[in-house]
Amino acid sequence: ESKTYQGLVYAVYAGGDDVFLIGPWDRMPGLAVSIRDDFQRYTGQHPKTHLSAGLAFIGGKYPIYQAAADAKDALGQAKDLTGKEAFSFLGTAWKWTDFEKVLAKHNRLNHLVGGKQSEAEGLEGPQAILQILRQLAQDEADKARRHKGRPVWGPWMWQGAYMLWRMADRNKTAQPELAKAILEVRNELDANHYQEINQWGAAARWTQLEVR
């Protein structure tokens, strides 16, 4: 697996219990998960050992010292989460177990909208599904969560379900495999009452950044 990152990731600092790495943004989430898994194996899954990380997005001419400050802020966000043991990504601190779900959803969406010749061997689905999921997560679910602390029933849920159903229905004849994949997303959201819509929203944003 180290070959995946060979020649792409640069260690600016590694000492004590801190590591500061720079690399292609699309490789860094996978590297973070890999480091966390290696750490867990090294400690024998000891419950009192924790590892937190934060990812900051920077441009090619961005000063390294400012990148370090941004990464420190992201790390602080992860450490502020109750119990720590978290990863800050796209402005949100995720428990590692939750981030692994975000990663899985991202892989599904990447396959859904990717081209046939892409690395994901995608279904060439409409990228509009990404915006629908982001809108549900950002505009509606966040409002409900701020008021109740969790997603609550409301028009945004069945509006989202309807939009995804219409998208699947438009593709059921020409692209049945694509229609099935879209319905699977819709049905999964419905089955757990949209409790993971924030994960779908983050996965959709991640996918948008990769395919744009």
Tell me the pLDDT band of 118, cut-offs 50, 70 and 90: low
User: Which residue is associated with the tokens 């996965």?
Assistant: 203
Res 205 pLDDT > 70? yes
Average pLDDT over residues 78-82: 93
Strands 18-22 and 10-15: antiparallel
Res 121 pLDDT > 80? no
pLDDT digits over 29-75, tens only? 999 999 999 999 999 999 889 899 999 999 878 899 999 999 999 99
Average pLDDT over residues 75-93: 95
Average pLDDT over residues 70-92: 95
Q: Name the pTM for this structure.
A: 0.90
Tell me the pLDDT band of 138, cut-offs 50, 70 and 90: confident
Tell me the pLDDT band of 192, cut-offs 50, 70 and 90: confident
Cβ atoms 26, 210 nearer than 8 A: yes
Which ranges of the chain would DSSP assign to H, the alpha helix? 28-42, 64-80, 96-113, 128-135, 142-148, 155-171, 176-191, 197-211
